[in-house]
Amino acid sequence: MKKSLPSAKILGLVALGFTTALFAAPASAQDRYRQRPPVMVSPDLTAPWLMQLGEAPRQQAPRYRTAAPRPQYEQPRYYRPQAQQQRAQQSRQYLFPPAPSRAARPARSQQGAQQVAMRRADLPVIQGKVEPQFLPQTVSYETQYPAGTIVIDTNNRFLYLVEGNGQAMRYGVGVGKPGFEWAGEHKVTRKAEWPSWVPPQEMISREAAKGHYLPARMDGGPENPLGARAMYLGSTLYRIHGTNAPWTIGSAVSSGCIRMRNEDVTDLYERVNVGTRVIVI
């Protein structure tokens, strides 16, 4: 048999619960507006909630490694070994001597020819331009012609100035191209320094047909095909002369004239006189 509580206690408990609920409800409603502790943000942004949860921050390695400093290299230096410089200096040879200063230039002669001091004929030329056998040299040469005679061997591209006693001064020459070869005997009838050039009409027409237009006349100078000196042979149009193309020495490229290096023709020019006998074979 269950015991029942007195009605007075029941009413008291009901009243106490109602009062508690009545006064507790407003406090619960305002709880969300009360001031909360500040949010603690970890310096390590990769784990911002660890400190709020009360956990000690973890020590993590940095995400990016600091690049090691690059080694400093010296600026590369470009240089030529001393031996290479010496070889380059030895191979640097010139066809003509350096131009003299204005004060050292000689005055023009009365005939208007330019007086120049040419290099010795035995000096070497630019490597690869003229073969050594075509450089001036004294050689053994047995001949029936007397000393002072010029003998031109067109087949072998040599000019000999007979000195007697079985010797001769030999120079390399360029000769007439195929169809322009000739042989015979003449004398030097005229000499000229830095001669002007007047191409014959036949040459002008012949070259024009090839598309090469020659001037009617060209004054003497380094660009003139006759070069530094000329020795005219008899009454013909043939000459022994210099050239502005020294690399053609030893070849058959002319229109019949005998061409020489400017250094060589200048040396020969000083050795022979008007009236010198010239034999072309």
Q: Where are the domains of the chain?
A: 133-280
Confidence label for 125 from pLDDT (cuts 50, 70 and 90): very low
CA-CA-CA-CA dihedral for 179, 234, 147, 152, to nearest 10: -10
Chain-wide mean pLDDT for the chain? 74
How many other CB atoms are found less than 10 A from the CB of residue 280? Answer: 22
The residue ranking higher by pLDDT, 114 or 57, is 57
Average pLDDT of 271-280? 97
What does the pLDDT look like over 160-190, one tens digit per residue? 999 989 999 999 999 999 999 999 999 999 9
Whether this prediction's pTM lies above 0.85 is answered by no
Q: What dotted CATH number matches 133-280?
A: 2.40.440.10
The catalytic residues are 241, 257
User: Exposure string (b/e) for 139-170, b if CB count within 10 Å is 16 or more?
Assistant: eebeeeeeeebbbbebeebbbbbbbeeeebbb
The residue ranking higher by pLDDT, 96 or 251, is 251
Dist CA 142 CA 241 (whole Å): 26
Average pLDDT of 18-24? 50
pLDDT value at 140 more than 80 = yes
